Structure 1
Amino acid sequence: MTLARSHPRLVMVVLGGAIAAYCAIAGQLSRGDPMVALELAGAAMLAAWAVLLARIVWRGRRLARALGARCRDRSLAGVACRIVRGGGRHAFVLGPIRPRIYVGDGMLAALDADELQAVVLHEDHHRRTFAPLRAAALEAWLALVGRWGPLRRPLADRLIDLEEEADAHALRRGVDPATLASALVKADAAPARAGAAFVSAADRRLESLLAAAAGETRIVAPRLPFEWLPPAAVATLALACHLSGLAV
């Protein structure tokens, strides 16, 4: 378990202390604005991330438009869904601002009523929490950091968290963990372009669901929202130093 997951408040305190220390030291050593170099670097990083994020969001919008002609609206387990003709055994959510649930017609044929309800409740959590936008933000950071392990691992773990949070929502709504595990096994594997994080998510989800079905209780510590943490950190650092009056 990483420090960010086991002690998120401690990490935030350390980050805050680092910001304060930087402001104090930079203010003493610099006769100019101590934030200029950091602001430029932060702006460049955020600009690159924003471009990657926009590309991922645009790709999702193109997919939603392409699926439109093959979809029909239907309520499943009391939740509005779009049924995709020829969509295979897949269920997913598209849309950064107005997310919608898409269910392949193969999923309807493969799952029984309880399994289908479990899947829909899982996807409904994604819809309610704007998971497509959050996942896109994480994927943009993953593309930006490349294969650098120290940063890549917490980002990939956070992406898996989104799936486990949706599972937990379904279980709180009364879904049997064995039923959700069964639906996960019956669903088609994620496409290769989805990346290793999604494959790892399926493996970890299945492990957790089977453990829950066996009566095991696992306490999952909250993880920092890494999808939004870098922009927030850059903005906080700039604001803290400027408000402190250390910038000339």
Structure 2
Amino acid sequence: MKIAGATALVTGANRGLGLAFARALVERGAARVYAGARDPGSVTLSEVVPIKLDVTKDEEVAAAARQASDVTLLINNAGIAKFGSFLADGAIEDTREHFEVNLVGPLRMARAFAPVLAKNGGGAIVNVLSVASWINSPLLATYGASKAAAWAFTNGLRIELEGQGTQVLGLHAGFIDTDMTREITTPKSSPETIVKETLDALERGDRQVLADEVTRHVYRGLTAEQPVYLSAFSRPPA
């Protein structure tokens, strides 16, 4: 997948990682970048096309697919993260909300845009996942469960869209320095670093990108004698 000349849609593009994706796509020569946001007025990047898009609303996703019918690259970035354990008050409600945004949202987008991508030559989908796809802790328990489900969805979608020539790339990363993680004091990667790693992987034709050392450390531990997911997440030694 080549970025130069592509037409991209980024969900949740008004801030944080989504804004970094939109800016980088413009800088790399994308022909057009649609910036999806619940409030399109919150999109401040002048080089993009704001589009009203709440990934939890069927009608807005369908409208986006009609408006952005020239898309060749879909970046499913929109997501939420709430703190709390599985046994905390409100965990049931938080689980439903996490799954609706972090799993069903990308599923809605994929169902709406797969025919668009097929019509436009195949293109690519990037799903923003997490190191929490593989390892969990009471800090982000229900969030991690939703990202684990989104990883399974990504792997299945990749196989399902292979026949139409659509590249599906899963992005795994640890904490990123955005508004979403402002209350977390652990070291974080910059959004720009994560975006660069992801777009480079996309252009190489990769199917998965481990965008920081924390994620690579966890991934290596998945098949260890004592698999890393059997204990709470801890950062690798410096």
Task: Tell me the TM-score normalized by structure 2.
Answer: 0.31
Higher relative contact order structure (alpha carbons within 8 Å, sequence separation ≥ 6): 1
Point out the structure with the larger strand share.
2
Structure with the greater alpha carbon radius of gyration:
1
Point out the structure with the larger helix share.
1
Task: Tell me the TM-score normalized by structure 1.
Answer: 0.30
